[in-house]
Chain A
Amino acid sequence: MNESPDRDLILRARRGETEAFGELVQRYQAAVFNVCYRLMGERREAEDMAQEAFVRAYERLGSYDDERPFGPWMRRVAANLCVNQLEVLPRTQPAVLDEERDPDDPAQRPEALSERRDQAERLRTALVALPAHYRIVIELRHYQELSYDEIAETLKRPLSDVKSHLFRARKLLAEKLKE
Chain B
Amino acid sequence: MTHLPEETLHEYLDNALSPQARAAADAHLQDCAACQVELETLRSLFAEIESLPEAPLERDLSPVIVAALGSRTAVPRVVWGALVAQALALVVLLGLAWPLIDLPIVTLPDLPSASQLLAQWTTQQDALLRALGQVSLPSFSIPFSPPFDPPVILLILTFLGACLFWLVGNGLLLRPGQTISLKRRDS
Contacts and interface: CB of A to CB of B under 8 A. Distances in A.
Interface of A: 16, 18-19, 21-23, 25-26, 29-31, 33-34, 37-38, 43, 47-48, 50-52, 54-55, 58-59, 62, 119-120, 123-124, 127, 138, 141-143, 147-148, 163, 166-167, 170, 173-174, 177
The listed residue with most A CB atoms (<10 A of its CB), out of B14, B61, B72, B182, is B61
A170 B45 contact: yes
A34 B48 contact: no
- Shortest 9 CB-CB distances between A and B: which pairs? A22-B66, A25-B62, A18-B69, A22-B62, A33-B57, A51-B182, A30-B57, A142-B49, A54-B65
A163 B8 CA distance: 11
Interface of B: 6-7, 10-11, 14, 16, 41-42, 45-46, 48-66, 68-70, 72-74, 76, 182-185
19 contacts: A22-B62, A22-B65, A23-B62, A25-B62, A29-B61, A30-B57, A31-B54, A34-B57, A47-B57, A51-B61, A54-B61, A55-B69, A123-B51, A142-B49, A143-B50, A148-B14, A174-B41, A177-B45, A177-B48
Given A120-B53, A167-B7, A55 B48 contact: no
A94 B11 CA distance: 28
Given A50-B61, A51-B182, A174 B45 contact: yes
B69 to A, nearest CB: 4
Given A141-B14, A174-B45, A177-B48, A55 B184 contact: no
Contacts of A127: 49, 52
B6 A167 contact: yes
Contacts of A120: 51-53
A18 B63 CA distance: 10
B46 A142 contact: yes
A37 B64 contact: no
A26 B64 CA distance: 12
Contacts of B65: 21-22, 25, 51, 54-55, 58
